[in-house]
Amino acid sequence: MTTDIALVPLSRASMLPTILLYVLAIIVICIVALLLFRKYHSLRDIRRKRNILIYGVFALILILLIFQLDLVARRADVGYGITAISGKVYPGKVNEVALYCSNRGSRSANFYIVLTSVNASFNIEDQQDYLSVNSTMVKVPFALSENWFSANADSKVVFFTVSDNVAGFSFFVDIENRAFGGLDTPGGVWFVRYAWNATTNCFILTESANIAAA
C-alpha cells in the first residue's frame, strides 16, 4: 500500500491586501484617538461618563479589528489525501482505504474529509464518529492542532466492499470545514480509480491524481 497525499498550499499572497487593510485600519483608529486626546483635554478625564463611553467605543472597534486580523492572518494550511492501494482488491471481500491529512498552519483545523465512492459501498458500523451520508458517501472527522515548524498529521481507515458485476470502482476526496473560518483548501479533488483485471481476477490501481481547481 502506498500513500498519495494531496497537499493544499496556502495562498498568502491573496490574503496580503486584506491583512494590510486591517493593519491600516488599526493604525488609523489609534492615530485618530491620539489626535482627539491631544486636541480635547476634557477627554483625559476618566471620571466623566461620556469619556468612559468614548473609551469603550474605541476599545470595541480595536478589539473587533484585531479579531478580524487574527482570523485572516492565522490560517490552517491543510494537506489531505487518500492511500492508493497498490495491491490487489478482490470483489466480495471487505477492504480498507485510509485517509490522510496534515496541518502546517498557524491555526488549528477542525474538518471533515468527505469520501465518495463509485461502484463501492462503505461499512462504518463500528466507526461511531463517522458520518454516513449514504452508502457511497461518508464524512470522516479530523481535528489537527496548529504547528509552526512541522506538520501535525493524522490518518483514519474506512472499510468498503466493491459492488457486484462492475468493471471498476473509484474514490473521490473533498474537504469540509467544521470550524468558523481559518481553513485554506484552494486545491481540487483527490481521486483514485481501479479497474478489473481479467488476468489476475481482481481490481488493480489504474489512476491516481489531483484535479486542479477550476
Tell me the per-residue pLDDT of 85-133, one tens digit each, with 9 for 90 and over.
Answer: 667 888 888 888 888 888 877 778 889 999 999 999 998 877 778 999 9
Three-state DSSP state, 25? helix
Q: How far apart are CA 84 and CA 170, in angstroms?
A: 11
Q: For residue 186, what pLDDT is reported?
A: 46
Burial of 54 (0-12, 13-18, 19+ CB in 10 A): middle
Q: pTM for this structure? A: 0.68
Three-state DSSP state, 138? strand
Three-state DSSP state, 99? strand
Handedness of CA 37, 38, 41, 47 (dihedral sign): positive
Grid coordinates representing 39 are: 486636541
Q: For residue 192, which of 176, 214, 211, 209 has the smallest C-alpha distance?
A: 209
